[in-house]
Structure 1
Amino acid sequence: MRSRLIPLFVFVASVSLSQLAFSQMIVAHRGASHDAPENTLSAFRLAWKQNADGVEGDFYLTADSKIVCIHDKDTKRTAGKKIVVQDSTLAELRQLDAGKWKDAKWANEPIPTFAEVLQTVPEGRTFVIEIKSDERIVPVLKSELDRLDHANINLLIISFNDKVIADCKRLLPNVKSHWLTSFKQNKATGKWTPTADQIAKTVKKSGASGVGMHGNTQVIDAAFIAAMKQGGCDEFHVWTVDSPADANYFSKLGAFGITTNRPAFIREALETKTAAN
Structure 2
Amino acid sequence: MYMMRVWISLILLFVCVVPSSGQVIVAHRGASFEAPENTLAAFDLAWAQGSDGVEGDFYLTRDKQIVCIHDRGTKRTTGVEKSVEDSTLAELRQLEYGSWKGEKWKGERIPTFRDVFESVPEGGLFVIELKSKAKIVPFLASQLKSLGTGKIRLLIISFDKATVAACHAQIPEVRTHWLTSFKQDKATGSYHPSAKAIAKVVSESGAAGVGMNGNRQVVDETFIKQLNEGGCNEFHVWTVDQLKDAAYFKNLGAFGITTNKPALIRTIRSKGK
Above 0.5 in TM-score?
A: yes
User: Which residue of structure 2 aligns with residue 231 of structure 1?
Assistant: 230
User: Which residue of structure 1 aligns with residue 35 of structure 2?
Assistant: 36
Q: How far apart, in 1, do the equivalents of 2:170 and 2:92 lie?
A: 28
Q: Counterparts in 2 of 1:1-277, with a 5 A limit? A: 20=20, 22-274=21-273
Deviations 1:116-150 (A, max 9, x none): 00001011110000001111100000011011133
Q: Percent identity, aligned pairs only?
A: 60
Give the secondary structure class of the aligned counterpart of 2:25: strand
Q: How far apart, in 2, do the equivalents of 1:137 and 1:33 lie?
A: 25
Measured after TM superposition, the shift of residue 24 of structure 1 is 1.9
Kept in 2, the 8 Å contact 1:244–1:270? The answer is no
Deviations 1:207-243 (A, max 9, x none): 0000000000010000000000000000000000000
Q: How far apart, in 1, do the equivalents of 2:268 and 2:133 lie?
A: 37
Q: How far apart, in 1, do the equivalents of 2:187 and 2:142 lie?
A: 47
Q: How far apart, in 2, do the equivalents of 1:88 and 1:266 lie?
A: 37
Measured after TM superposition, the shift of residue 66 of structure 1 is 0.2
Measured after TM superposition, the shift of residue 264 of structure 1 is 1.2
Give the secondary structure class of the aligned counterpart of 1:86: coil
Q: How far apart, in 2, do the equivalents of 1:30 and 1:147 lie?
A: 24
User: Which of structures 1 and 2 has the bigger CA Rg?
Assistant: 1
Kept in 2, the 8 Å contact 1:242–1:266? The answer is yes
TM-score normalised by the chain length of structure 2? 0.92
Q: How far apart, in 2, do the equivalents of 1:273 and 1:246 lie?
A: 14
Give the secondary structure class of the aligned counterpart of 1:273: coil
Q: How far apart, in 2, do the equivalents of 1:189 and 1:150 lie?
A: 46
Amino acid at match of 1:60: Y
Structure 2: unaligned runs, 5 residues or longer: 1-18
Give the 3 Å change call, closer, same or farther, for CA 112–248 of structure 1 in structure 2. Answer: same
Q: How far apart, in 1, do the equivalents of 2:270 and 2:213 lie?
A: 22
Measured after TM superposition, the shift of residue 273 of structure 1 is 3.1
Amino acid at match of 2:183: K
Q: How far apart, in 1, do the equivalents of 2:149 and 2:221 lie?
A: 36
Bigger shift: residues 145-154 or 102-111? 145-154
Amino acid at match of 1:265: L
Moved over 6 A (4+): none
Q: How far apart, in 1, do the equivalents of 2:34 and 2:193 lie?
A: 33
What is the root-mean-square deviation of aligned Cα atoms in Å? Answer: 1.0
User: Which residue of structure 1 aligns with residue 5 of structure 2?
Assistant: none
TM-score normalised by the chain length of structure 1? 0.90
